[in-house]
Amino acid sequence: MSIQRSFAAPGGAVSVDQLPKLEGEITLYLGRGEGGLYENVLEAIRKRNPKLNLKIRRGATAALANSIVAESKAGVKRADVFWAVDSGAIGLISDAGLARPLPADLIAQLRPGFQYTQWAPVTGRVRTLPYNTDRLTAEQIPESVMALADSDLSIGWAPAYASFQSFVTAMRLLEGDKVTADWLRAIKARATTYAGELGVVMAVERGEVDLGFANHYYTLRLKNGKPDAKVALGFTKNDAGCLVNAGGILALSDGDLPINFIRYLLTEEVQSYLASEAYEIPLVEGAKPPQGLPPLDSISPPKIDLTQLADLRPTLNLMRRVGVL
């Protein structure tokens, strides 16, 4: 999977004007974490489609994924579409056989390497190590995320956050359960827990901790509002620490409405909004990457199939066993 290449080809995204109007009732389970920005997108879709009755249930992505599975087991179906901030939670749903297949033309809009039959990636994100620039220099950031376990840095993290859990899953797949458990234990001894990764980045900027674990966009957003913020992005090399992950959406009900709803998120307008405002990496062909992200050829993400990140349950069990959840 080469991100650099996938950014090159222009064209692909359609405009909202080309899409059919949405009509009827639809329930969206929205894995939150992006604050008001996803809400703004949904509000815009609502405004464009006055006949759409869009109901939104908000929750942590992993919690909603688990709810969807539990609901289907109990024979109670509530959600029509699930917009998750993380592909691990999506895999949990599609592994349970609950996701409806997407039409080929929709899949074709997505960048090569991000085309799946069960779900549509909406935006991408890179795992990063935001660090306080008063306390550390770029040289002091270890090249390996594993090396952090032996450092004496103070660390901020949000273990309850879905993206972090996917990162741990990636580490499990790359390094094995035992190494991952030891690593979590070692980090836990020096870590401060925050509710979300925005909290982590804010804490790094305030100097509460030296460095944190967070998706790239929180740092970029913070710096956008506060250009002299004392925080910069650090990257590890070739390990889970710089995993490139995606948030995405899937349909849980049959019919055109869920599919057409998904199409709205893949339009040029929404994609460029999420890139410019949320600093997320658009995954539809032709949309421009966000400003402020370092040249992507300098990042070397591990080779991992995103659908494997669905193996969330062992991750949660492991995290619970070592007492970080």
Partner 1 sequence: MSLTLGRRWPASYPLALLIALLAIVPVGVLVGLASDSAELFDAHNLRVLTNTLLLMVFTVLGSVAIGVPLALITAYAQLPWRRLWLILLAAPLAIPSYIGAFTLYAAFGRGGEIQQLLGWSMPAVNGLPGATLVMTLYSYPFVMLTTRASLLSLDASLVNAARTLGMSIAASLWRVVLPRVATGIAAGALLVALYTLSDFGTPAIMRVDTFTRVIFVEYNAFGLSQAAMLSLQLLVIVGLVLFLESRVRGNKERPGRHLTLWPSRGQKLLMALVFAPVFVLAIVLPLLVFGIWLWREGTAGFDATYAWNSAHASFLAALVAVVLAIPVAHAAIAGRAGRFMERLTYFGFGVPGIVMGTALVYVGLQLPFLYQTLGLLVLAYVLRFLPLAVGSVRSTAEGLDPSLVKAARLLGASPREAFQRITLPLTIRGMVAGAALVFLEAMRELPATLMLGPTGFETLATYLWRVYEAGYFGRAAIPGLLLVLMSALGLALMLSGERRAEFDVTGK
Note the residues at the interface with partner 1 (CB under 8 A). 27, 32-36, 55-60, 62-63, 66-67, 69-71, 74-76, 78, 160, 192-196, 198-199, 202, 205-208, 316, 320, 323, 325
Closer CB to partner 1, 62 or 243, in the complex: 62
Closer CB to partner 1, 28 or 284, in the complex: 28
Closer CB to partner 1, 230 or 237, in the complex: 230
Distance between CA atoms of residues 163 and 153, nearest Å = 22
Residue 267 C-beta: closest distance to partner 1, Å: 24
CA dihedral 95, 97, 98, 104 (to 10 degrees): 90
Residue 25 C-beta: closest distance to partner 1, Å: 11
Distance between CA atoms of residues 51 and 303, nearest Å = 44
Closer CB to partner 1, 57 or 178, in the complex: 57
Residue 132 C-beta: closest distance to partner 1, Å: 11
- Distance spanning both ends of the chain, measured CA to CA: 32
Closer CB to partner 1, 26 or 296, in the complex: 26
197-206 vs 216-225: helix crossing angle, rounded to 10: 50
| Cα Rg of the chain, angstroms | 19
Closer CB to partner 1, 135 or 237, in the complex: 135
Distance between CA atoms of residues 66 and 89, nearest Å = 8
CA dihedral 160, 165, 166, 170 (to 10 degrees): 160
The three-class DSSP label of residue 263 is helix
| DSSP code, position 196 | S
Residue 231 C-beta: closest distance to partner 1, Å: 12
Residue 13 C-beta: closest distance to partner 1, Å: 27
Residue 219, both tokens: 């740092």
Residue 229 C-beta: closest distance to partner 1, Å: 10
Residue 34 C-beta: closest distance to partner 1, Å: 8
Closer CB to partner 1, 19 or 325, in the complex: 325
Amino acid at 297: D
Q: Strands 214-215, 120-132: parallel, antiparallel or unpaired by DSSP? A: antiparallel
